[in-house]
Amino acid sequence: MTTTNKAKAVFFDRDGTLNVDTEYLHRTEDFIWIEDAREAIKYVNDRGYLAILATNQSGVARGYYPEEDVKIIYDWMNQDLAKIGAHLDALYYCPHHPQGPLPAYRKVCTCRKPDTGMIDEACKRFHIDRSQSYFVGDSDRDMECAQRAGLTGIRYVKGSLLERIKAIDTSVKTLG
């Protein structure tokens, strides 16, 4: 906790940031961690930050898989992370898409990144200090979401996710 008694958080995108993007991932047997992603989450945990998953899951709106599959993958991720003493604190996901064929999920919403609905909800629930928090993602959409939400964006491209997080410009902020 910061001196303002607010939580600090690192929000993570999922596909392409924590796992290899296999397009519409919805089965645990297809999940492949990005290099050092588990260790990056543990690094964040060990420094007192909440680790929160914030992911667009338009495969639900497209009818490729049910919402329950998103939750199953999240639970599996936490089971696997527990093996190294790490965890994700919460899951926020957007199942919507404006052109999705399933009427229940076909809509423009405020939770779909780059909109900030998922971040806003987590910040309210956990009393997160946005000025001390980060968003780690691999897309322009993720970085735009970070900016709109008042978070520091960390762009992941390739290689070790842990090293990318450790390489944050400490002249601005640090996770230490």
Residues 16/139, Cβ–Cβ less than 8 Å:
yes
CATH number of the domain within which 30 lies: 3.40.50.1000
Q: Is 169 annotated as a binding residue?
A: no
**73: in domain:** yes
**65: in domain:** yes
Residue 37 has pLDDT above 90, yes or no: yes
Q: Which residues are catalytic?
A: 13, 15
**173: in domain:** no
* Averaged confidence pLDDT in the chain: 93
For residue 163, the model assigns a pLDDT of 94
Domain count, the chain: 1
Query: Please, what is the Cα angle at 15 between 66 and 67, to 5 degrees?
Result: 15
Q: Is 109 annotated as a binding residue?
A: yes
Strand stretches in 15-157, DSSP E = 50-56, 90-94, 134-137, 152-155
**Tokens linked to 142:** 């993720």
Mean pLDDT of 145-170: 91
**2: in domain:** no
For residue 174, the model assigns a pLDDT of 54
Residue 155's domain comprises: 9-166
